[in-house]
Amino acid sequence: MSGHSKWATTKNKKAAIDAKRGKLFAKLIKNIEIAARTGGGDPNGNPTLYDAIVKAKKSSVPADNITRAVKRGSGEEAGGANYEEIVYEGYAPGGIGLIIQCLTDNRNRAAADVRSTLSKNGGSLAENGSVSFNFHRQGQIEVPAKDVDFDSLFETAAEAGADDVEDKGDFYLVTTDPSTVVDVRKAIQDAGFDYDSAETTLVPLNSVELDLEGAKKVTRLIDALDDLDDVQDISAAWTASDEVMQQLEEDE
């Protein structure tokens, strides 16, 4: 019986991983479609599309899926959905501010799913402006750390106008003003560095430090929101000690 149980557990874990991969692929494909629709289907003339394609490739999205997404977005191929961007503000347990960014072809479904998921996980919707005032846009470029000299990367990024470079362990995080993220990314590439992603994201100005129980509640809600088909990105104003973050990873 133990062997059977172990196999069942392994199979369930694989199914969960496959499901998460499928949802990630869907989000990345949406980004490509939107980028192609708004800026054209040529990545050489559309930096947003270029970066969306790079991120998808780094996440192992099949090349055929990427090509079809570009064609749908640019109108070269039929079948593209009419996505609209909707941003919700909310609170996680403990009053942690959330910005929930959606791309959806059904506004009513997106609103109902977000509201229900917040409610089921101890959160709530917030009025527009009550959370977003604590967030600002920031350009972020992730450079894999393997075989990369930090000082050389820092010098290249700084000369191109980056604000900072942080060592995150497996990767270096280059932060920039949103208006210069493409210029800094190009400079990093021209200097021979690889990169995993380059995009603008919402970053909290002030964050609440949580203990383990509080962090578990917030991450449980964020995971549930992230599982929704319409949700593209979630920004949350919380932080935790290294010990708490390690414990969260071990409990996964």
Does residue 54 fall inside a structural domain?
yes
Same domain, 107 and 213: yes
Identify the CATH number of the domain in which residue 51 sits.
1.10.10.200
177-235 pLDDT, tens digit per residue, is: 999 999 999 999 999 999 999 999 999 999 999 999 999 999 999 999 999 999 999 99
* Inter-axis angle of helices 2-39 and 63-74, nearest 10: 30
Chain position carrying tokens 């791309």 = 103
* Per-residue three-class SS string for the chain: CHHHHHHHHHHHHHHHHHHHHHHHHHHHHHHHHHHHHHHCCCHHHCHHHHHHHHHHHHCCCCHHHHHHHHHHHHCCCCCCCCCEEEEEEEEECCCEEEEEEEEECCHHHHHHHHHHHHHHCCCEECCCCCCHHHEEEEEEEEEECCCCCHHHHHHHHHHCCCCEEEECCCEEEEEECHHHHHHHHHHHHHCCCCCCEEEEEEEECCCEECCHHHHHHHHHHHHHHHCCCCEEEEEECEECCHHHHHHHHHHC
Q: Is 247 exposed, middle or buried (0-12, 13-18, 19+ CB in 10 A)?
A: middle
Does residue 62 fall inside a structural domain?
yes
Residue 173 domain boundaries: 134-204
| Cα separation, 178 vs 141, whole angstroms | 11
Cβ 232 vs Cβ 27: under 8 Å: yes
Same domain, 65 and 177: no
Same domain, 143 and 196: yes
Predicted confidence at residue 251, as pLDDT, reads 81
Does residue 175 fall inside a structural domain?
yes
Same domain, 24 and 118: no
> How long, in residues, is the chain?
252
Does residue 79 fall inside a structural domain?
no
| Cα separation, 225 vs 55, whole angstroms | 21
Same domain, 28 and 64: yes
Q: What is the pTM of this model?
A: 0.86
Same domain, 109 and 142: no
For the cut 90, the answer to whether the pLDDT of residue 62 exceeds it is yes
Does residue 97 fall inside a structural domain?
yes
| Cα separation, 175 vs 141, whole angstroms | 6
Does residue 10 fall inside a structural domain?
no
| Cα separation, 205 vs 33, whole angstroms | 31
For 81, the token pair is 């959905």
Cβ 56 vs Cβ 29: under 8 Å: yes
Predicted confidence at residue 20, as pLDDT, reads 75
Same domain, 145 and 196: yes
Q: Sheet holding 135-144: strands in order across?
A: 164-167, 171-176, 135-144, 197-204
Question: Could you say which of 5, 40, 74 is where a domain stops?
Answer: 74
Same domain, 172 and 226: no
Predicted confidence at residue 17, as pLDDT, reads 55
For 232, the token pair is 């593209």
Does residue 63 fall inside a structural domain?
yes
Same domain, 162 and 200: yes
Predicted confidence at residue 10, as pLDDT, reads 37
Mean pLDDT in residue range 115-120: 98
Average pLDDT of the residues of the chain: 91
Same domain, 143 and 242: no
Identify the CATH number of the domain in which residue 177 sits.
3.30.70.980
Mean pLDDT in residue range 148-168: 97
Model confidence at 167, pLDDT cuts 50, 70, 90, reads very high
Does residue 57 fall inside a structural domain?
yes
Same domain, 218 and 175: no
Question: Could you say which of 74, 99, 118 is where a domain stops?
Answer: 74
Same domain, 102 and 159: no
Cβ 212 vs Cβ 244: under 8 Å: yes
Domain count for the chain, please give it: 3
Question: Could you say which of 33, 55, 74 is where a domain stops?
Answer: 74
Q: Write the single-letter amino acid at 197.
A: S
Model confidence at 18, pLDDT cuts 50, 70, 90, reads low
Model confidence at 250, pLDDT cuts 50, 70, 90, reads confident
